[in-house]
Amino acid sequence: DIVMTQSPDSLAVSLGERATINCKSSQSVFYSSNNKNYLAWYQQRPGQPPNLLIYWASTRESGVPDRFSGSGSGTDFTLTISSLQAEDVAVYYCQQYYSTPFTFGPGTRVDIK
Amino acid sequence: QVQLVQSGAEVKKPGASVKVSCKASGYSFNGYYIHWVRQAPGQGLEWMGRINPNSGGTNYARKFQGRVTMSRDTSISTAYMELSRLNSDDTAVYYCARAGCRIVTGTCYSDYWGQGTLVSVSS
Protein backbone atom coordinates (compact mmCIF):
# COMPACT_ATOMS: atom_id res chain seq x y z
CA ASP A 1 0.00 0.00 0.00
CA ILE A 2 1.14 3.57 -0.66
CA VAL A 3 1.58 5.43 2.62
CA MET A 4 0.74 9.15 2.62
CA THR A 5 2.23 11.53 5.15
CA GLN A 6 1.47 15.21 5.70
CA SER A 7 3.23 18.05 7.44
CA PRO A 8 2.66 19.90 9.59
CA ASP A 9 -0.07 18.23 11.67
CA SER A 10 -1.57 21.67 12.25
CA LEU A 11 -0.81 25.30 11.58
CA ALA A 12 -2.18 28.69 12.53
CA VAL A 13 -1.93 31.52 10.04
CA SER A 14 -3.02 35.14 10.22
CA LEU A 15 -5.86 36.26 7.97
CA GLY A 16 -4.50 37.22 4.57
CA GLU A 17 -1.27 35.31 5.06
CA ARG A 18 -0.04 32.23 3.20
CA ALA A 19 -0.59 28.67 4.41
CA THR A 20 1.47 25.79 3.03
CA ILE A 21 0.75 22.10 3.55
CA ASN A 22 3.06 19.31 2.44
CA CYS A 23 2.17 15.78 1.40
CA LYS A 24 4.56 12.93 0.69
CA SER A 25 3.83 9.51 -0.79
CA SER A 26 5.89 6.39 -0.04
CA GLN A 27 6.20 5.72 -3.77
CA SER A 28 5.74 7.78 -6.88
CA VAL A 29 2.16 8.50 -7.95
CA PHE A 30 3.28 9.83 -11.34
CA TYR A 31 2.10 7.84 -14.35
CA SER A 32 4.51 8.54 -17.21
CA SER A 33 2.20 7.25 -19.95
CA ASN A 34 -0.16 10.19 -19.46
CA ASN A 35 2.16 12.56 -17.60
CA LYS A 36 -0.20 12.84 -14.63
CA ASN A 37 0.25 12.75 -10.88
CA TYR A 38 -2.58 10.81 -9.24
CA LEU A 39 -2.90 13.10 -6.24
CA ALA A 40 -5.91 15.03 -4.92
CA TRP A 41 -6.49 17.51 -2.11
CA TYR A 42 -9.69 17.78 -0.07
CA GLN A 43 -10.96 20.29 2.46
CA GLN A 44 -13.16 19.12 5.31
CA ARG A 45 -14.97 21.59 7.53
CA PRO A 46 -16.41 20.34 10.86
CA GLY A 47 -19.50 18.22 10.42
CA GLN A 48 -19.22 18.25 6.63
CA PRO A 49 -18.13 15.68 4.05
CA PRO A 50 -14.81 16.29 2.29
CA ASN A 51 -14.80 18.82 -0.53
CA LEU A 52 -12.56 18.31 -3.56
CA LEU A 53 -10.14 21.20 -4.08
CA ILE A 54 -7.38 19.98 -6.38
CA TYR A 55 -6.90 16.90 -8.58
CA TRP A 56 -4.09 15.67 -10.84
CA ALA A 57 -1.90 17.44 -8.22
CA SER A 58 -2.47 20.91 -9.65
CA THR A 59 -5.88 21.18 -11.36
CA ARG A 60 -8.31 23.30 -9.38
CA GLU A 61 -11.86 21.94 -9.16
CA SER A 62 -14.55 24.14 -10.66
CA GLY A 63 -15.77 26.73 -8.16
CA VAL A 64 -12.72 26.51 -5.91
CA PRO A 65 -11.23 29.98 -5.21
CA ASP A 66 -7.96 30.67 -6.98
CA ARG A 67 -6.18 31.29 -3.68
CA PHE A 68 -5.92 27.48 -3.50
CA SER A 69 -3.17 25.95 -5.60
CA GLY A 70 -1.45 22.58 -5.80
CA SER A 71 2.06 21.72 -6.95
CA GLY A 72 4.60 18.93 -6.91
CA SER A 73 5.32 15.69 -8.72
CA GLY A 74 6.37 12.13 -8.05
CA THR A 75 6.34 11.77 -4.28
CA ASP A 76 6.29 15.36 -2.96
CA PHE A 77 3.33 17.67 -3.17
CA THR A 78 2.19 21.00 -1.73
CA LEU A 79 -1.15 22.70 -1.19
CA THR A 80 -0.90 26.47 -0.86
CA ILE A 81 -3.56 28.88 0.34
CA SER A 82 -2.19 32.21 -0.84
CA SER A 83 -4.27 34.49 1.38
CA LEU A 84 -6.05 32.73 4.23
CA GLN A 85 -9.71 33.58 4.74
CA ALA A 86 -11.86 32.80 7.76
CA GLU A 87 -13.84 30.20 5.80
CA ASP A 88 -10.63 28.25 5.10
CA VAL A 89 -10.48 26.96 8.68
CA ALA A 90 -10.68 23.21 8.11
CA VAL A 91 -8.73 19.99 7.93
CA TYR A 92 -6.97 19.33 4.63
CA TYR A 93 -6.25 15.84 3.30
CA CYS A 94 -4.21 14.59 0.39
CA GLN A 95 -5.13 11.33 -1.32
CA GLN A 96 -3.38 9.18 -3.88
CA TYR A 97 -5.51 7.41 -6.48
CA TYR A 98 -2.59 5.81 -8.33
CA SER A 99 -3.27 2.35 -6.95
CA THR A 100 -5.76 0.72 -4.62
CA PRO A 101 -6.20 1.17 -1.74
CA PHE A 102 -6.58 4.88 -2.47
CA THR A 103 -4.93 6.06 0.72
CA PHE A 104 -5.32 9.42 2.43
CA GLY A 105 -2.82 11.43 4.39
CA PRO A 106 -3.55 11.92 8.11
CA GLY A 107 -4.75 15.47 7.60
CA THR A 108 -3.52 18.97 8.45
CA ARG A 109 -5.63 21.28 10.59
CA VAL A 110 -5.57 24.96 9.58
CA ASP A 111 -6.65 27.63 12.07
CA ILE A 112 -6.53 31.40 12.31
CA LYS A 113 -3.73 32.90 14.36
CA GLN B 1 -27.07 18.36 -10.48
CA VAL B 2 -25.16 15.39 -9.12
CA GLN B 3 -26.40 14.22 -5.73
CA LEU B 4 -25.60 11.29 -3.48
CA VAL B 5 -28.11 10.76 -0.68
CA GLN B 6 -27.28 8.24 2.01
CA SER B 7 -29.47 6.33 4.43
CA GLY B 8 -29.92 7.41 8.02
CA ALA B 9 -27.92 6.81 11.16
CA GLU B 10 -27.70 3.28 12.58
CA VAL B 11 -27.07 1.86 16.05
CA LYS B 12 -25.82 -1.70 16.12
CA LYS B 13 -24.66 -4.23 18.67
CA PRO B 14 -21.21 -5.84 18.44
CA GLY B 15 -21.22 -8.78 16.07
CA ALA B 16 -24.11 -7.43 14.00
CA SER B 17 -24.05 -6.21 10.40
CA VAL B 18 -25.00 -2.87 8.89
CA LYS B 19 -26.01 -1.99 5.34
CA VAL B 20 -25.71 1.63 4.19
CA SER B 21 -27.30 2.86 0.98
CA CYS B 22 -26.25 5.66 -1.36
CA LYS B 23 -28.79 6.86 -3.93
CA ALA B 24 -27.31 8.69 -6.90
CA SER B 25 -29.02 11.19 -9.14
CA GLY B 26 -28.14 13.79 -11.77
CA TYR B 27 -25.75 11.65 -13.80
CA SER B 28 -25.38 8.27 -15.49
CA PHE B 29 -25.02 5.91 -12.51
CA ASN B 30 -23.41 3.12 -14.53
CA GLY B 31 -20.62 5.32 -15.82
CA TYR B 32 -18.71 6.20 -12.64
CA TYR B 33 -17.19 4.23 -9.77
CA ILE B 34 -18.68 4.68 -6.31
CA HIS B 35 -16.14 4.75 -3.49
CA TRP B 36 -16.78 4.16 0.22
CA VAL B 37 -14.74 6.07 2.82
CA ARG B 38 -15.15 6.08 6.57
CA GLN B 39 -14.13 8.45 9.35
CA ALA B 40 -13.99 7.45 13.00
CA PRO B 41 -14.80 10.19 15.54
CA GLY B 42 -12.04 12.79 15.55
CA GLN B 43 -9.96 10.75 13.10
CA GLY B 44 -8.94 10.94 9.46
CA LEU B 45 -10.39 9.49 6.27
CA GLU B 46 -10.06 5.80 5.49
CA TRP B 47 -10.73 4.37 2.01
CA MET B 48 -12.70 1.13 2.22
CA GLY B 49 -13.20 0.18 -1.39
CA ARG B 50 -15.08 0.90 -4.59
CA ILE B 51 -17.65 -0.63 -6.88
CA ASN B 52 -18.08 -0.42 -10.62
CA PRO B 53 -21.85 0.07 -10.94
CA ASN B 54 -21.80 -1.16 -14.53
CA SER B 55 -20.19 -4.56 -13.94
CA GLY B 56 -20.61 -4.91 -10.19
CA GLY B 57 -16.87 -5.45 -9.86
CA THR B 58 -15.32 -4.42 -6.58
CA ASN B 59 -11.97 -3.54 -5.04
CA TYR B 60 -11.72 -3.70 -1.25
CA ALA B 61 -8.99 -2.46 1.06
CA ARG B 62 -7.21 -5.45 2.55
CA LYS B 63 -8.25 -4.40 6.04
CA PHE B 64 -11.94 -4.95 5.24
CA GLN B 65 -11.76 -7.99 2.97
CA GLY B 66 -13.95 -10.74 4.28
CA ARG B 67 -16.12 -8.29 6.23
CA VAL B 68 -17.31 -5.81 3.62
CA THR B 69 -19.62 -6.31 0.66
CA MET B 70 -20.31 -3.56 -1.83
CA SER B 71 -23.22 -3.98 -4.19
CA ARG B 72 -25.55 -1.96 -6.36
CA ASP B 73 -29.03 -1.89 -7.83
CA THR B 74 -28.80 -0.13 -11.17
CA SER B 75 -32.60 0.00 -11.56
CA ILE B 76 -32.74 2.54 -8.73
CA SER B 77 -29.23 4.04 -9.10
CA THR B 78 -28.27 2.97 -5.59
CA ALA B 79 -25.05 1.59 -4.18
CA TYR B 80 -24.76 -0.32 -0.93
CA MET B 81 -22.02 -1.02 1.58
CA GLU B 82 -22.54 -3.84 4.07
CA LEU B 83 -20.11 -4.37 6.93
CA SER B 84 -20.38 -7.48 9.07
CA ARG B 85 -19.05 -8.61 12.46
CA LEU B 86 -19.13 -5.07 13.76
CA ASN B 87 -17.07 -4.00 16.75
CA SER B 88 -16.65 -0.70 18.57
CA ASP B 89 -13.79 0.31 16.25
CA ASP B 90 -16.31 0.40 13.40
CA THR B 91 -18.11 3.35 14.98
CA ALA B 92 -17.67 5.99 12.30
CA VAL B 93 -19.29 8.16 9.68
CA TYR B 94 -19.46 6.26 6.41
CA TYR B 95 -19.38 8.23 3.16
CA CYS B 96 -20.06 7.26 -0.42
CA ALA B 97 -18.36 9.32 -3.11
CA ARG B 98 -18.48 9.38 -6.88
CA ALA B 99 -15.34 9.10 -8.97
CA GLY B 100 -14.74 12.24 -10.99
CA CYS B 101 -13.92 10.46 -14.23
CA ARG B 102 -15.77 7.92 -16.31
CA ILE B 103 -14.83 4.31 -15.56
CA VAL B 104 -13.39 3.85 -19.04
CA THR B 105 -10.77 6.55 -18.39
CA GLY B 106 -9.25 4.77 -15.39
CA THR B 107 -8.77 5.58 -11.73
CA CYS B 108 -9.79 8.94 -10.45
CA TYR B 109 -10.34 11.25 -7.49
CA SER B 110 -13.78 11.68 -5.84
CA ASP B 111 -15.72 14.76 -6.80
CA TYR B 112 -19.16 14.37 -5.19
CA TRP B 113 -19.76 13.02 -1.71
CA GLY B 114 -22.81 11.86 0.17
CA GLN B 115 -23.77 13.54 3.43
CA GLY B 116 -22.43 10.66 5.50
CA THR B 117 -24.09 7.98 7.63
CA LEU B 118 -23.17 7.61 11.29
CA VAL B 119 -22.90 4.00 12.39
CA SER B 120 -22.59 3.55 16.13
CA VAL B 121 -21.59 0.16 17.55
CA SER B 122 -22.30 -0.29 21.23
CA SER B 123 -23.45 -3.03 23.56
Residue of chain B whose Cα is closest to the Cα of A92: B44
One-character DSSP codes across B5-31: EEPPPEEE-TT--EEEEEEEESS-GGG
Contact B109 A93 (CB under 8 A): no
Nearest residue to B84 via CA among B34, B14, B8: B14
Sequence-distant (≥ 6) Cβ neighbours of residue B88 within 8 angstroms: B14, B121, B122
pLDDT above 90 (res B81): yes
Average pLDDT over residues B82-102: 96
Which chain B residue's Cα is nearest to A91?
B44
Among partner residues A49, A52, A104, which is closest to B114 by beta-carbon distance? A49
User: For residue A41, what pLDDT is reported?
Assistant: 98
Q: CB distance A55–B46 less than 8 Å? A: no
Residue pLDDT, tens place only, A35-94? 999 999 999 999 999 999 999 999 999 999 999 999 999 999 999 999 999 999 999 999
Contacts of A1 in chain B (CB under 8 A): 62
| B104, pLDDT greater than 90 | no
Say which residues have a Cβ less than 8 Å from residue A33's Cβ, sequence separation at least 6: none
Measured between CA atoms, the residue of chain A closest to residue B99 is A97
Residue from the list B47, B59, B100 with its beta carbon closest to the beta carbon of A55: B100
CA of B111 vs chain A CAs: smallest distance (Å): 6
pLDDT tens sequence across B16-65: 999 999 999 999 999 999 999 999 999 999 999 999 999 999 999 999 99
The pLDDT, as a whole number, for residue A44 is 98
From the list B45, B62, B116, which residue is nearest A104 (CB)? Answer: B45
Confidence of residue B102 (pLDDT cuts 50, 70, 90): confident
- How are strands ordered across the β-sheet holding A76-81? A4-7, A19-25, A76-81, A68-73
Categorize the per-residue pLDDT at B107 as very low, low, confident or very high, splitting at 50, 70 and 90.
confident
Question: For residue A109, how far is the Cα from the chain centroid?
Answer: 11
Q: Using the beta-carbon criterion (under 8 Å), do B45 and A95 form an inter-chain contact?
A: yes
pLDDT of residue B105: 84
- Integer Cα distance of A94 and A113 in angstroms: 23
CB pairs under 8 A between A and B: 62
Average pLDDT, chain B: 97
